[in-house]
């Protein structure tokens, strides 16, 4: 997809969202199914069924997807798609590359071993290694706009309110 194709694709959406801001609000959903007695659940993604379970550091055997890994997967997916869209929009040729997310998680928190240890990631690092001839100024703009428009990155940074209810 080139710059003009992307702009043509997004122009009517942007116009509709300017004229009717409420039409831009979309409720996205995800659902997991608990089945059997295993400490796991099945998550239907857009393309495949993923069975999630405990990370080996929490007692899992490593055969099931860990939700922490899935969070990092979502981050690199969103950052990659966002970066590609921004590069396309700016006319920056990115031939390929790698996006990597690393997160530090202290399992003492989630296992209740230490009440002071945090539950959740205490740090996440996102890195891009791109195959491009873009100059330093273009790369700085690409990084800034990717960070600004990446939904998952902004959700993590801005601590979105999440509610939970049984029943």
Residue 110 belongs to a domain with what CATH number? 3.30.300.20
Mean pLDDT of 116-132: 93
Query: Long-range contact list for 105-114, CB < 8 A, 24+ apart?
Result: 105/57, 105/68, 107/55, 107/57, 107/58, 110/58, 111/58
Mean pLDDT of 73-95: 94
Report d(CA 62, CA 51) in Å as an integer.
11
Does 54 fall in a domain? yes
The band of 152, judged by pLDDT with boundaries at 50, 70 and 90, is very high
For residue 54, give the 3-state DSSP assignment.
coil
**What pLDDT is recorded for position 30?**
78
Q: How many domains does the chain have?
A: 1
Q: How far is 119 from 38, CA to CA, in rounded Å?
A: 22
- The whole-number pLDDT of residue 43 equals 86
pLDDT at 144: 97
The predicted-structure confidence for 18-72, as pLDDT tens digits, reads as follows 999 999 988 887 777 877 767 878 888 888 889 999 999 999 999 999 999 999 9
The DSSP 8-state label assigned to residue 57 in this structure reads G
The mean per-residue pLDDT over the stretch 118-136 comes to 94
Assigned domain for 165 exists = no
pLDDT the model gives residue 47: 83
CA distances from 165 to 54, 112, 126, 139, 162 (A): 22, 22, 32, 43, 10
Residue 39 lies in a domain: yes
Domain assignment of residue 118, given as a range: 3-157
Helix (DSSP H) and strand (DSSP E) numbers for the chain? 5, 6
Mean pLDDT (the chain, rounded): 91
* pLDDT at res. 29: 77
Residue 38: the pLDDT is 72
Task: Tell me whether residue 121 is exposed, middle or buried, using C-beta atoms within 10 angstroms of its C-beta: 0 to 12, 13 to 18, 19 or more.
Answer: middle
164 domain-assigned: no
pLDDT at 37: 66
């Amino acid at each position: 997809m080139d710059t003009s194709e992307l702009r043509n694709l997004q122009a009517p959406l942007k116009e509709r969202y300017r004229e009717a801001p409420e039409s831009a609000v979309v409720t996205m959903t995800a659902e997991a199914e608990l089945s059997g007695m295993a400490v796991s659940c099945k998550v239907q993604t857009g393309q495949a069924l993923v069975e999630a379970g405990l990370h080996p550091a929490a007692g899992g055997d490593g055969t099931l997807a860990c939700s922490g890994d899935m969070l990092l997967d979502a981050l690199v997916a969103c950052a990659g798609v966002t970066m590609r869209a921004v590069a396309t929009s700016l006319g920056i040729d990115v031939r390929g590359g790698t996006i990597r997310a690393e997160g530090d998680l202290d399992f003492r928190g989630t296992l209740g071993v230490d009440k002071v240890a945090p539950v959740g990631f205490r740090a996440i690092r996102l890195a891009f290694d791109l195959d491009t001839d873009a100059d330093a100024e273009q790369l700085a703009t690409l990084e800034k706009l990717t960070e600004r428009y990446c939904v998952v990155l902004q959700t993590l940074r801005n601590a979105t309110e999440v509610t939970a209810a049984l029943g």
